[in-house]
Amino acid sequence: MEKNHSLFFEDFYNKSPQLRLMAINNPYNFKIVNYSPSLLETLGYTPEEMTQLPSRQSLYHPDCYDMLEGAMNLCLRQGFLRDYPVILSTKHGDKVFVSQDVLTTKDKQGNILFYHCFYRKRGSNLDPIIEHEQQILESLNKSFIESQEFYQYFYDFYENAPDMFAYIEGTGGENIDSVGITNCNNTFAQKLGYSKNEILSLSMQDLYHPDCLEEIARMRAYCMEHDEIKNWELTLKKKNGEKLHVALSARRKKDDNGNTLGCISLWRDISDLVETRQKLQNTNELLVRQNEEIKSLMHLISHDIQSPIRAIYNFTQFILDESSKVLPESVIDFLNRIQTNVMRLQSLTRDLLSFFIGGETVGIEETDVSSIIEQAVSYLDIPPTVKITLECKVPPFKAKKMLLSQVLCNLISNAVKYHPIPEQAEIYIKVEDDSDYWRFIVKDNGIGIAPRFHQTVFEPLTRLKIAKNVDGSGLGLAIVKKLITQEGGQISLISQEGKGATFAFTWPK
């Protein structure tokens, strides 16, 4: 701090022809930090002798010590001194009778930081040149006080910032033992559990955790090549031995010849991020295991459970074929109901399998939307009276055709199934280019969906009461949304009850 003070006023004092000095206000550690050449010449001291004077009294002759005490008390009370008679003492003890003016510099709390002393012959008036010089000093003093307020603001920010700041001196080559910290903020010391003095007595080798030494070597090599690093993750070692995960951003400071002087560095505590990342990794690993278990279960449903389902259907059909003429109508009705529910169960298991593991190994191929619609009509056995209009403004494109076909088949199937008179269903399909996506619109004239159900209809096994008599598993729209979102698209619904439904979705190119 004292060095900053002296540098701020150094040029003024070096050029002043008057008898001037600047001293720190510390009764326990007197120190002159600036002086004019004329004062040095008048008193006969060398520069080293001047700055090493042990006390304030060393400047003055013993005959004026009483006057000096009164001058100091007056200056402390009013914050300045004007034309006060004192006697300076030369190196050899000769008297120099002068009048003393004192200008003080204070901090924002009003404490005196240092004194500017100006000496002139007793009884002499301030000539215009000297008066102008005094005005310059007063202006300089005011500027210094203002700059100190800015300095204090940034100093407080530096010391109390949530991040860790440090200046690291030296390069150390391959050996980081010679790399030390010459300055750091309070946060740096507190995070590591040290005092600032302890930190400044350590090398960086003492602060890095042994687990990251190889990473440090890579980081240092990169910094030497590129002059800076950003958010390089490392591990520091606290005083108690615990790890502190940090992200380091630093810039090399070089001299005019390009030699490294040190690094200005910012260290951000990322312990919470590392912990969250580890939890996320653990969760992902758990999800992977659970997904594998679900796949195994779905394959079990697909193969082992489908077999008894088919057996039940076949056995009931065998009974109907062999004994329908002798069985009561009520029994035949029950057998038909069994077959209907078996078919529903078979459809449900097939949809469950599609929902959980559909689309994992599907390849990309040439896709023509019109051919998909034709195949869907054939596969779904749609009544010939159903009207499907396709407005396709895009040429054939590359996509996961099988998945897109499944999405469109489900939407077309729903449009027919949930129409009060399926034979009168009308479906309008539009395809257009939308930057990074293909945009699809599928509109029907069916029973519609009330706005309060626009989100729930996409949930698995959800069926609206208005459609309770329609065959289905309740997974159709859930499968549609899953396939679209897993491919990176989005789906939305516009509908009112009794006014049809419009599904719009995007499919990535």
Q: How far apart are CA 29 and CA 341, in angstroms?
A: 99
SS (H, E, C) 115-127: EEEEEEECCCCCC
pLDDT at 108: 73
Quick: pLDDT tens for 348-363.
777 666 666 655 556 7
Q: Are residues 425 and 398 in the same domain?
A: yes
Q: Are residues 7 and 155 in the same domain?
A: yes
Q: Are residues 439 and 342 in the same domain?
A: no
Containing structural domain, residue 77 = 2-159
Quick: pLDDT tens for 89-148.
999 999 999 999 998 888 777 788 889 999 988 876 667 777 788 788 888 888 887 777
Q: Are residues 154 and 172 in the same domain?
A: no
User: Does residue 12 come out as left (phi exceeding 0), alpha (psi in the -120 to 50 range) or beta?
Assistant: alpha
pLDDT at 62: 93
pLDDT at 6: 62
- Please state, for a pLDDT cut of 90, what percent of the chain lies above it: 44
Kindly list the distances between the CA atom of residue 32 and the CA atoms of 45, 107, 176, in Å, as whole numbers in the listed order. Answer: 13, 19, 39
Specify the CATH number for the domain of residue 500.
3.30.565.10
Q: Are residues 449 and 424 in the same domain?
A: yes
Q: Are residues 258 and 283 in the same domain?
A: no
- Stretch 429-440: mean pLDDT: 92
Q: Are residues 288 and 237 in the same domain?
A: no
Residue 363: CB atoms within 10 A of its CB come to 7
Helix (H, G, I), strand (E, B) or coil at 398: strand
Q: Are residues 147 and 6 in the same domain?
A: yes
Contact 398, 366 (CB under 8 A): yes
Residue 97: CB atoms within 10 A of its CB come to 14
Specify the CATH number for the domain of residue 243.
3.30.450.20
| pLDDT for 308 beyond 70 | yes
Helix (H, G, I), strand (E, B) or coil at 187: helix
Contact 69, 79 (CB under 8 A): no
- Amino acid letter for position 53: L
Query: Which has the closest alpha carbon to 21: 83, 92, 94, 88?
Result: 88
- Cβ-count burial of 357 within 10 angstroms (0-12 exposed, 13-18 middle, 19+ buried)? middle
Q: Are residues 183 and 322 in the same domain?
A: no
Q: Pick the last residue of a domain from 225, 254, 269.
A: 269
pTM confidence score? 0.48
Q: Are residues 175 and 252 in the same domain?
A: yes
Quick one: DSSP state of residue 60? B
pLDDT at 471: 63
Q: How far apart are CA 83 and CA 117, in angstroms?
A: 11
- Amino acid letter for position 243: K
Quick one: DSSP state of residue 463? -
Q: Are residues 130 and 254 in the same domain?
A: no
Query: Which has the closest alpha carbon to 88: 20, 135, 27?
Result: 20
Provide the mean pLDDT of the chain: 86
What's the angle, vertex CA 61, arms to CA 56 and CA 62, rounded to 5?
Answer: 90
